Amino acid sequence: MLNKLKSIKALDSVRWRMVGVYLLITILALVAISGTVSGLMEEFLVSQRTKTQLDATAELAETIAGDLYVTDTDELFHYIGERAQSMGGRVLVLDSDSVVQMDTASRQNGSLLPYREVREVLRGGKDSAYGFHHILRSSEEGVFTFNEESIWAVYYTVPIVRDGAVTGAVLFSASIQDVVDSLMAVTQRITMVFGIVIVAMIIAVSILSGWLARPIAELTSAIRRMGTQGYVRVDVKGSSEIAELGNAFNRMSERIEDHDRTRNEFVANASHELKTPLATMKLLSETILYQDNPDPALMKEFFGDINHEVDRLTRIVTELLKLVQEDSSAGGLNFETVRLDTLVGGVCGRLTALAENKNIALRTQLEPVEMQGDSMRLEQIIVNLVENAIKYTDEGSVDVSVSDEGEWAVFTVKDTGIGIPEESIDHLFERFYRVDKARSRSTGGTGLGLSITEKLINLHGGSIEVRSKLGEGSTFTVQLPVRQRGGAAE
């Protein structure tokens, strides 16, 4: 239970990390987009506005510079008032000490204006300047002031130049609140849309990651259960990568199950095989032991039997060891270049006596084939197959051949023996499997020969195939690759 909780927690943290990463990416993208959009809007709206108004201010300053000392003050004030109205703002004329000389709103006459824009054109030598100010504007009606509201305004300043000297400045102030308002509206819209997008994304990613996480959690708990409940299969749906993972898990579980079953069977079979001679030996020795005056002839016969069983035990143990060795030394073959035909010829030569004893003709047909292989193991393969052919043939012949088939060296052993029933062919290479236990036993078989043979062939990268008909004979065909992958020494 605790374990399960832990795994779910771990997955949840993966899930939330996923959500977090997606969220971060989305927010970054949205911020970048909104920044760009509002930046572009602002630039477009504001720069257009300031450029026109700054130009108008400069023009006004030039006119004033020409008229200041020639025109009558009232007339000039009137003129400036008109211009201010047509430009949509308020105009102030300052002297060179930043003191207001003329204010179209008539509110700041005589006061000193401490603004940066003013300083820049009066003392900084700039042709023009402007700046944004957050100001309180009071709407006036009659003598009352009401509804003070703060707005954004732009102050444009242009110097009044006369005979090359700066004699004052024109300050034009206009509201830019309309632009700020529309920018705010746009920003609000964008923010709202982004909010919706982010919420939608969080929901979508949580659902999606849940879809991803659930099967993984199931798989994890299945793997956990496997430790305690034996073999577990998970239910696989669909064909996603996760389903693929589930399938792979099921295959693995199956293979482990298979492996365990074979191992258990093997242990059971091996114990059984070892128990039979031991039981026989115990019976024989007890028979002698509990007889007061055992007949020497009988004793000799029993000891002969015991000896026979000891031989048998030795053979079984030797072959079992061989089998285990091949199991653990997979890939540990000593590859060298060998002549398969020579090896087969040698083995057949040594087994001729055995065949002659049974009146069986052992014939060979050998084509020269050079291949990479472990000569000791190859010889074992040949001995096992030819020995079987002689052992399970009562009359007739055993034909052994080697042929060169390009990439493959093919070795066949064909006999006219007792044959193998169809239902046994599939089991032939299992450990301890014998078609006829009694017969195999009397000929000293352990049922391990073919499983060793198959293992050795597999280690060489080859394959073995059996064709047989009961009462007519069997043919074992072995295909071995001429060259080993990974390039053994030539």
Ligand X SMILES: Nc1ncnc2c1ncn2[C@@H]1O[C@H](COP(=O)(O)OP(=O)(O)O)[C@@H](O)[C@H]1O
Cα dihedral 38, 44, 45, 46 sign = positive
Query: Does 388 participate in binding ligand X (rule CB under 6 A)?
Result: yes
Mapped onto helix, strand or coil, the DSSP state of residue 47 is helix
Query: Does 428 participate in binding ligand X (rule CB under 6 A)?
Result: yes
Query: Does 420 participate in binding ligand X (rule CB under 6 A)?
Result: yes
Nearer to Mg ion, 56 or 389 (CB): 389
Span between the terminal Cα atoms of the chain, in Å: 60
Q: Say how far apart CA 478 and CA 411 lie, in whole Å.
A: 5
Alpha helices in 399-448 (DSSP H): 422-425, 437-442
Q: Which H, E and C letters describe 351-388, residue by residue?
A: HHHHHHHCCEEEEEEECCCEEEECHHHHHHHHHHHHHH
The count of residues interacting with Mg ion (CB under 5 A) is: 2
Nearer to ligand X, 218 or 436 (CB): 436
Residue 359 CB, shortest distance to Mg ion, in Å, is 20
Residue 383 CB, shortest distance to ligand X, in Å, is 10
Point out the residue whose Cβ comes nearest to ligand X: 445
**Binding partner of 446, given ligand X, Mg ion, none, CB within 5-8 angstroms per partner class:** ligand X
Query: Does 474 participate in binding ligand X (rule CB under 6 A)?
Result: yes
**Binding partner of 420, given ligand X, Mg ion, none, CB within 5-8 angstroms per partner class:** ligand X
Place of tokens 């007890």: 286
Q: Say how far apart CA 437 and CA 452 lie, in whole Å.
A: 18
Q: Say how far apart CA 427 and CA 47 lie, in whole Å.
A: 91
Q: Closest Cα to residue 94, out of 109, 78, 75?
A: 109
Query: Does 128 participate in binding ligand X (rule CB under 6 A)?
Result: no
Query: Does 478 participate in binding ligand X (rule CB under 6 A)?
Result: no
Residue 8 CB, shortest distance to ligand X, in Å, is 51
Task: State how beta strands 473-481 and 463-469 pair.
Answer: antiparallel
**Binding partner of 89, given Mg ion, ligand X, none, CB within 5-8 angstroms per partner class:** none
Query: Does 418 participate in binding ligand X (rule CB under 6 A)?
Result: yes
Binds ligand X by CB under 6 A, chosen from 450, 457, 478, 480: 450
Query: Does 277 participate in binding ligand X (rule CB under 6 A)?
Result: no
Residue 475 CB, shortest distance to ligand X, in Å, is 9
Strands of the 144-162 sheet, one edge to the other: 100-103, 90-95, 165-175, 144-162, 129-141
Binds Mg ion by CB under 5 A, chosen from 168, 449, 462, 473: 449
Nearer to Mg ion, 91 or 389 (CB): 389
Q: 480: part of which helix (H) or strand (E)?
A: strand 473-481
Q: Which of positions 369-428 make contact with Mg ion (CB under 5 A)?
A: 388
Mapped onto helix, strand or coil, the DSSP state of residue 258 is helix
- Using the rule CB under 6 A, give the single segment among 156-164, 256-264, 327-335, 438-446 that binds ligand X: 438-446
Estimate the crossing angle of helix 177-229 against helix 241-289, to 10 degrees: 10
Residue 320 phi, psi (nearest 5): -60, -45
Q: Which of positions 113-172 make contact with Mg ion (CB under 5 A)?
A: none
Can you give the binding site for Mg ion, defined by CB under 5 A?
388, 449
Judged by the rule CB under 6 A, the positions of this chain that interact with ligand X are 384, 388-389, 392, 415, 417-420, 428, 433-436, 440, 445-450, 474
